[in-house]
Amino acid sequence: MKHWIQALALAAMASIAAAQEHHSFEQQFSGFEPDVDVERSLGGPLSLLGEKLFHDTRLSGTGGTACASCHEPNYAFADPRQVSQSDGGQLGRRNAPSLINAGLLPVLMWDGRFRSLEQQAFSPFARGEMGIDIFEAERRLNSDPKYLHLFRVALNSRPSANGMAIALAAYQRTLISGESRFDRLIRNSEADTFTAVELDGFLLFERKAGCSNCHLTRAPVNHRASGLRLFTDLGFHCGIRGIADRIPTQAGQGSDDCGQPLKAA
């Protein structure tokens, strides 16, 4: 009996330590300011490791879900479904947004709860969306000789939860939008790049419809944006289409009600 009590006590202590360690991971990356210029470099070992992790379905309970399952490259790294789905098939309450230019945003998620891509990386494991926790993901990586090599090359360490977050964030920071016809129109006044209908639509967007009041067609005041137009005012808006019970005013104060899928009329 004494041995059983000791075993249970040790298991409880390990569980508490694991929970504290997981909490410290997120705290470590709270407000984290990465070296963006270095981590944006295409083809570097860190971003290549992150790309492999991003598409690896083995980091899920069923072996069928990866980051790319909800952030699909063919859909601008967004989810074409109304709401995203967890590894176990459970429907969420929100749609996964595009990751294009996500590394340039000051806060992440629909309510701005995360302040860096590194901090956000733990959320799908902590919320059960991947079907395993971060420690099981870490264990699986450490059992794979290829990952042992890739982590050694990229980070000079064994696979770890922190290393996963850093590599995934490095890859996501390479997802930068290219120059479009709109960019050329704004930068060089090349109106001939637009058709007459497109130009009318742009003028409507800017003036009568007022779309650009929130979806700014100028670069926001944001040190990370480097002049890119992100089509956002970086604010949080929830008082539209009948969802007006609570309106978040700043990052991290959003209501879950803002994330509920709108019901068909």
Tokens 């779309």 label which residue? 211
Q: What is the pLDDT of residue 226?
A: 58
Q: At what angle do helices 161-172 and 134-142 cross, to 10 degrees?
A: 90
Residue 112 phi/psi, 5° resolution?
70, 30
Distance CA 5, CA 90 (A): 37
Q: What is the pLDDT of residue 106?
A: 83
- Residue 182, helix vs strand vs coil: helix
Q: What is the pLDDT of residue 29?
A: 52
Q: What is the pLDDT of residue 26?
A: 54
Q: What is the pLDDT of residue 6?
A: 46
Q: What is the pLDDT of residue 173?
A: 92
Residue 108 phi/psi, 5° resolution?
-125, 165
Q: What is the pLDDT of residue 16?
A: 35
Cβ neighbors of 236 (< 8 A, separation 6 or more) are: 110, 111, 112, 248, 249, 250, 251, 253, 254, 258
The residue type found at 123 is S
Q: What is the pLDDT of residue 238?
A: 63
The residue type found at 22 is H
Q: What is the dihedral of CA 129, 65, 119, 47, to 10 degrees?
A: 180
Q: What is the pLDDT of residue 39?
A: 47
Distance from the Cα of residue 94 to its chain's centroid: 13
- Parts of the chain with a pLDDT under 70: 1-43, 189-191, 219-227, 238-265
14-68 pLDDT per residue, tens: 433 444 444 455 555 554 555 545 445 556 899 999 999 999 999 999 999 999 9
Q: What is the pLDDT of residue 155?
A: 94
Nearest CA-CA partner of 52 in 168, 178, 161, 217: 168
Annotate 52-64 with three-state secondary structure: HHHCCHHHCCCCC
Q: How many CB atoms lie within 10 A of CB 135?
A: 13
Cβ neighbors of 123 (< 8 A, separation 6 or more) are: 109, 114, 129
Q: What is the pLDDT of residue 42?
A: 57
Distance CA 70, CA 83 (A): 9
